[in-house]
Amino acid sequence: MKPFEYIRAEGIDEAGTAAAGGATLIAGGTNLLDLMKLQVAAPGTLVDIGHVPGLGDIEETAEGLRIGALVTNSALAADPRVRKGWPVLSRAILSGASGQIRNRATTAGNLLQRTRCPYFQDPASPCNKREPGSGCPAKGGVSRMTAILGTSENCIAAHPSDMAVAMTLLEAEAEIRAAAGTVRHLPLGDLYRVPGDQPDEETTLQPGEIITAVHVPHVPAGSVQAYRKVRDRASYAFALVSVAGIVRMEEGRMAEARLAFGGVGTKPWHDAEADALLTGRRPSEALFGEAAQLVLAGARTEEGNAFKVPLLSRTMKAVLRELTGAAPASPGTDRTEAYA
């Protein structure tokens, strides 16, 4: 690690001022310290926000839940309200990392974790995301873990988070505080940027902005939710492909249908057209196939990740079968209950 100054912020104002002055925030540290050891990140000043009061609670609001930025992944997945009302969020978190890491990983830190592209993590290699203009060796190189949707000539790195896929599905919004103290809400879809010609710019956060919470709206009771993650080993591995979904059936039709995807996009992936195609229709294999084709229409593949096209298609259909009751539910598929 390169030398740095360590500051423990006692309050949000102090953290905001330090961040506006160029300091890097550290929450759980499970991603940032890893990258600092690799010298991929080398902050001059580290502001530890782990003890800032007011960021560690899950509160019920009229619209749903307000999840503080410092709520750990473990606490969020185990929260009884989340398990009943937003089971897909518990399932997505529990499918990621390990018990130890989830105990430290925070809600905001998880959303903002960096890609696991091996070239990004190796400072000896070129990488447009780490060193703009240096090239993208993942193209034509080791690309098993890279994205097929939202990619550009300059970068094909996948967003690694499982939790963010469930949050995207749930139409969550980040609560963001500027150093001046003003607060704005931003749908997650607008928090993340696709790489385009600036793969180093991953989010729309401005200097000095801090994520203070994530708001997750209510989901109607009686809907079925699922998170299915496909990976190279049964546990403790990042997704090759993951599918999160919610369906509410009414008289044999999908009154509501929403899907989101992980492991395949340069950001947690959502396809509004596929949701619209499914919504209001009777479930059928033909319809599921049509929806999969729609999601994959813009896919661009490399030799090393072309398998993700059929894999995503099959995983998506398997999840839709369980969500609509055409196949029995396996662990990962849960019926939403009113949590109150």
Partner 1 sequence: MQITLTVNGETRDMDLDPRVTLLDALRDHLRLTGSKKGCDHGQCGACTVLMDGRRVNACLVLAAMAEGAEITTVEGLGRPGSLNPLQQEFVACDGFQCGYCTPGQIMSATGMLAEARDGWPSHVSESLAGPVALTDGEIAERMSGNLCRCAAYPGIRQAISNCAGTSAEAAKEAAE
Ligand X SMILES: Cc1cc2nc3c(=O)[nH]c(=O)nc-3n(C[C@H](O)[C@H](O)[C@H](O)COP(=O)(O)OP(=O)(O)OC[C@H]3O[C@@H](n4cnc5c(N)ncnc54)[C@H](O)[C@@H]3O)c2cc1C
- Contact between 74 and ligand X per CB under 6 A: no
Nearest CA-CA partner of 147 in 277, 316, 261: 261
Structural tokens at position 211 = 């994520």
Neighbours of 17 (CB within 10 A): 16
**Among 108, 191, 226, 240, interactor with ligand X by CB under 6 A:** 108
CA atoms within 13 A on the CB side of 209: 18
Shortest Cβ 14–ligand X spacing (Å): 14
318 touches 327 (CB < 8 A)? yes
- Give 6-38 as a DSSP string: EEE-SSHHHHHHHHHTTPEEESS-TTHHHHHHT
How far CA 184 is from CA of 49, 66, 85, 243, in Å, comes to 20, 14, 25, 29
- Quote the CA–CA distance of 177 and 159 in Å, as a whole number: 24
Residue type, 10: E
Q: Which stretch binds ligand SF4 (CB under 6 A): 120-128, 208-216, 251-259, 317-325?
A: 120-128
Total number of residues binding ligand SF4 (CB under 6 A)? 15
Cβ distance to partner 1 smaller for residue 93 or 254 = 93
- Contact between 162 and ligand X per CB under 6 A: yes
- Contact between 115 and ligand SF4 per CB under 6 A: yes
Which of partner 1, ligand X, ligand SF4, none does residue 191 bind to, with CB < 5 to 8 Å depending on kind?
Answer: none
- Contact between 160 and ligand X per CB under 6 A: yes
Which of partner 1, ligand X, ligand SF4, none does residue 108 bind to, with CB < 5 to 8 Å depending on kind?
Answer: ligand X
- Contact between 261 and ligand X per CB under 6 A: no
338 touches 60 (CB < 8 A)? no
Shortest Cβ 193–partner 1 spacing (Å): 27
Shortest Cβ 105–ligand SF4 spacing (Å): 21
Q: Which stretch binds ligand X (CB under 6 A): 144-152, 160-168, 323-331, 332-340?
A: 160-168
- Contact between 18 and ligand X per CB under 6 A: no
CA atoms within 13 A on the CB side of 20: 12
Residue 56, Cβ density class (10 Å: 0-12 exposed, 13-18 middle, ≥19 buried):
middle
Q: Which stretch binds partner 1 (CB under 8 A): 29-37, 131-139, 244-252, 279-287?
A: 29-37
- Quote the CA–CA distance of 255 and 185 in Å, as a whole number: 28
- Contact between 188 and ligand X per CB under 6 A: no
- Quote the CA–CA distance of 262 and 160 in Å, as a whole number: 7
- Contact between 294 and ligand X per CB under 6 A: no
DSSP state of 327: S
Q: Which stretch binds ligand X (CB under 6 A): 102-110, 179-187, 282-290, 328-336?
A: 102-110
- Helix (H) and strand (E) counts for the chain? 12, 13
Neighbours of 254 (CB within 10 A): 22
**Among 12, 46, 219, 226, interactor with partner 1 by CB under 8 A:** 46
Greatest alpha-carbon pair distance for the chain in Å reads: 63
Per CB under 8 A, residues contacting partner 1 are: 1, 3-6, 8, 26, 28-30, 33-34, 37, 46, 48, 50-51, 74, 77-78, 83-84, 87, 90-91, 94-95, 97-101, 103-104, 234-236, 331-332, 334
Return residues touching ligand SF4 (CB under 6 A).
Answer: 115, 117, 119-120, 127-129, 136-138, 146, 155-157, 199
Residues lying near ligand X in the complex (CB under 6 A): 24-32, 34, 49, 69, 96-97, 101, 104-106, 108-110, 112-113, 160-163, 210-211, 238
